[in-house]
Amino acid sequence: MIKAILIFNNHGKPRLSKFYEHYSEDTEQQIIRETFHLVSKRDENVCNFLEGGMLIDGSDNKLIYRHYATLYFVFCVDSSESELGILDLIQVFVETLDKCFENVCELDLIFHVDKVHNILAEMVMGGMVLETNMNEIITQVDAQNKMEKSETFIFQSPRQDR
């Protein structure tokens, strides 16, 4: 099971947080801060696993993270997940984001956090891995975006934002 997925930048600003177990908003923020603290002080060329994610209870849990440019992608998982598998999953996630946003950068995540959530929802559901095939994920995301567009055309003012 995946317990939580966090994305934050080099300064610890959250860009996406998805908890598959309930915590109060304050605890969530504390977890994000603490995780950032743990992850950010690690060198670039050390392993990508961290044991005992402080707040995210028991000793069974692990933090598995990757650092891309300005962003940290952190998955908190328990022992039923394969460590290397999750690393691959993070890679798939990032590549998918890259395809969907065309050269993804932090700004995309800042302004379109809802879209990131939608993409993530096609990969991980309720803490379990739903799909790992990037093409399949993109197909489903595109189909839903198309639906959204057809609706927006009628119901929303045609307004474009960055």
Partner 1 sequence: MALKIVKGSIDRMFDKNLQDLVRGIRNHKEDEAKYISTCIDEIKQELKQDNIAVKANAVCKLTYLQMLGYDVSWAAFNIVEVMSSSKFTYKRIGYLAASQCFHEGTDVIMLTTNQIRKDLSSPNQYDTGVALTGLSCFVTPDLARDLANDIMTLMSHTKPYIRKKAVLIMYKVFLKYPESLRPAFPRLKEKLEDPDPGVQSAAVNVICELARRNPKNYLSLAPLFFKLMTSSTNNWVLIKIIKLFGALTPLEPRLGKKLIEPLTNLIHSTSAMSLLYECVNTVIAVLISLSSGMPNHSASIQLCVQKLRILIEDSDQNLKYLGLLAMSKILKTHPKSVQSHKDLILQCLDDKDESIRLRALDLLYGMVSKKNLMEIVKKLMLHVDKAEGTTYRDELLTKIIDICSQSNYQYITNFEWYISILVELTRLEGTRHGHLIASQMLDVAIRVKAIRAFAVAQMAMLLDNAHLLTGNMQRNGICEVLYAAAWICGEFSEHLEDPNQTLEAMLRPKVATLPGHIQAVYVQNAAKLFATVLRKHEGATDSQAAQETSQLLVERLPLFVQSANLEVQERASCILQLVKYIQKLQQKDVEVAEEVSALFAGELNPVAPKAQKKVPVPEGLDLDAWINEPPSESESEDEKPKAVFAKEETKHSRPRHTEVDEKELARRREARKQEQANNPFYIKSSPSSQKVYQDAPGVEHIPVVQIDLSVPLKVPGMPMSDQYLKLEEERRQKEKAEKKKKEKKKKREKHGKGKKHDSGPESEEDITPAHHVDIVTEEMPENALPSDDDDKDPNDPHKALDIDLDKPLADTEKLPVRTHRSEPLKSPGEDGDVESVPQEPKKRSSKEKKEKKKDKDKDRKKSKEEKKKKKKHKHDAEDEPAELPAEEPVKSEETNEVATPPTSTSAEASDLDFWLSSTPVAPTAKEVAAPAPAPAPAPETSLAAAPDSEADEPKDAEPEEVKCSKHKKKKQKKEKEKEEKKEKKKKRHHHHHHHSDGGEDSVQNGTMEEEEPLPPMSNYCLLAENSYIKMVYDIQGNLQDGSQVVVSVIFENKSDSFLKSMEFNVLDSLNSKLQRPEGAGPHDGLVVPFQLPPGVSNEARFIFSVQSIVMPQKLKGTLTFIVKSEDSSTHEKLDFKLHFTCTSYLITTPCYSDAYAKLLESGDLKSSSLRLEGVNMPFHHLLARICFHHHFSVVERIDSCASMYSRSIQGHHVCLLVKTADQTVSIDAKCDEPSLLGNVLDEIKQTFSQC
DSSP the chain: -EEEEEEEETT--EEEEEESS---HHHHHHHHHHHHHHHHTS-TTS-SEEES-TTS-STT-EEEEEEETTEEEEEEE-TTS-HHHHHHHHHHHHHHHHHHHTS--HHHHHH-HHHHHHHHHHHEETTEE----HHHHHHHHHHHHHHHHHHHHHHS------
Residue 128 near partner 1 by CB under 8 A: yes
Residue 103 near partner 1 by CB under 8 A: no
Residue 105 near partner 1 by CB under 8 A: no
Binding mask 30-69 for partner 1 (x = CB under 8 A): -------------x-xxxxxxx------------------
35 or 48, CB closer to partner 1? Answer: 48
How many residues line the site for partner 1 (CB under 8 A)?
59
- Name the site residues for partner 1 (rule: CB under 8 A): 1, 14, 16-18, 20, 22, 24-26, 28-29, 43, 45-51, 80, 82-85, 87-88, 110-114, 117-118, 121, 125-133, 136, 140, 143-144, 147-148, 151-152, 154-157, 159, 161-162
